[in-house]
Chains A and B, each alone.
Chain A
């Protein structure tokens, strides 16, 4: 069965995305494991011929949202979120740590869009489909996420005014 093989091949990509999304390896691998289990259980719902990667990332997105709800985690509120100590595993570089910190401070919905576009290099249409949002929302979240990330990585406050995306 081809989907099964493809699914296994996609595990490293799921891990990369999850790692950037949640900020540490252990939590990321927990998320990937839950995603794989759910994907296996739901594989009969996958429509052959459609993009398996987009489908799998949709599954992961749903699992992630449910996990956040279940652990009653709260989305970081703008920029004054206290930094959480994160278990450091492996030789993460300074760049990785800076990015982890900055990405963690993005609102969750912007974070997902930013990472699917830049890390996973998904088309805007696929991002919209994966997250179940209109493409206009993808573009505006992308724009906001990038501007915030730029401000954080350069140590400046995010520009207060952003152009409205049409």
Chain B
């Protein structure tokens, strides 16, 4: 293969993860002997991540009514309702759309504060689990870095449970904005491409513990619980309630240790 010289365009595409395999290797080799350039490109990657982190909250926010209504008269109310329901997942309790978490029969009624975590976790799952190219910010190959970074940002020790015995491998994780500060999201995937996300946030009140609770947000099932200063929510659109409960037990057991 003849190697054409590395251009600025190659470097930009490298920063965006858009180079084909061979070219990427060539750029990596080129950068290896040029620390200043390597630092510049690394900074571009960091900035791109920061830009996404900064504005991604707009994706899960409820769409203001005035915008929903611009579209409303043209399409059926039922369709709008379905879309608005999805969008409204991100909304605080008591907000205008009145969308509620409905715990299943036999499960204790959630307090607003705890059911909010289920909602947030479902939104995060719905947002990131369909991603093909950017499901996570830091991949499992950098697990140590991922865990250290997220622990530092959350201010508590966070770890990524090992779910291999249930056939779920760690894909990686990312940082999300939350009400009480930064939130960690870990993503897992099995051989069939079914995905599971674990949403981890710090809690405002430190001394509560709750049992597992289950909620279903549209097609996303969520088991969530609070363990002292940390709230957890395990979400999946691809697994049924029993499978999810088994995994929630596995996660809980590991986090106990």
Contact = CB atoms under 8 A, between A and B. Distances in A.
Interface of A: 1, 4-5, 7-9, 11-13, 15-16, 19-20, 29, 32-33, 36-37, 40, 93, 95-96, 99, 103, 114-115, 117-119, 121, 123-124, 139, 142-143, 146-147, 149-150, 153-154, 162-166
Contact of A12 (B7, B44, B50, B87): B87
B67 interface: yes
A123 B51 CA distance: 17
Contacts of A119: 51-52, 55
Given A11-B71, A37-B70, A150 B79 contact: no
Given A20-B55, A33-B67, A36-B71, A166 B47 contact: no
Given A4-B75, A146-B12, A165 B7 contact: yes
A139 B45 CA distance: 16
Given A16-B55, A95-B53, A118-B51, 11 more contacts: A4-B74, A8-B83, A12-B60, A12-B63, A12-B87, A20-B55, A93-B54, A103-B51, A118-B16, A143-B12, A166-B7
Nearest to A28: B58
Contacts of B7: 165-166
A149 B7 CA distance: 20
9 contacts: A5-B75, A5-B83, A99-B50, A119-B52, A121-B134, A124-B18, A139-B8, A150-B47, A153-B47
Contacts of A36: 67, 70-71
B61 A12 contact: yes
Contacts of A146: 12, 15, 44, 47
Contact of B63 (A11, A37, A117, A139): A11
B251 interface: no
Contacts of B74: 4, 40
Contacts of A40: 70-71, 74
A128 B63 CA distance: 28
B34 interface: no
Given A1-B75, A36-B71, A40-B70, A93 B177 contact: yes
B71 A4 contact: yes
A115 B87 CA distance: 23
B44 A96 contact: no
B71 A7 contact: yes
Nearest to A149: B47
Query: Counting chain A CB atoms within 10 Å of each CB, which of B47, B59, B61 scores highest?
Result: B47
A10 to B, nearest CB: 10
Interface string B1-24: 000000111001101101000000
Contacts of B53: 95
Contacts of A139: 8-9, 12
Q: Which 5 A-B pairs have the closest CB atoms?
A: A16-B58, A118-B48, A4-B75, A36-B70, A165-B8
B54 A15 contact: no
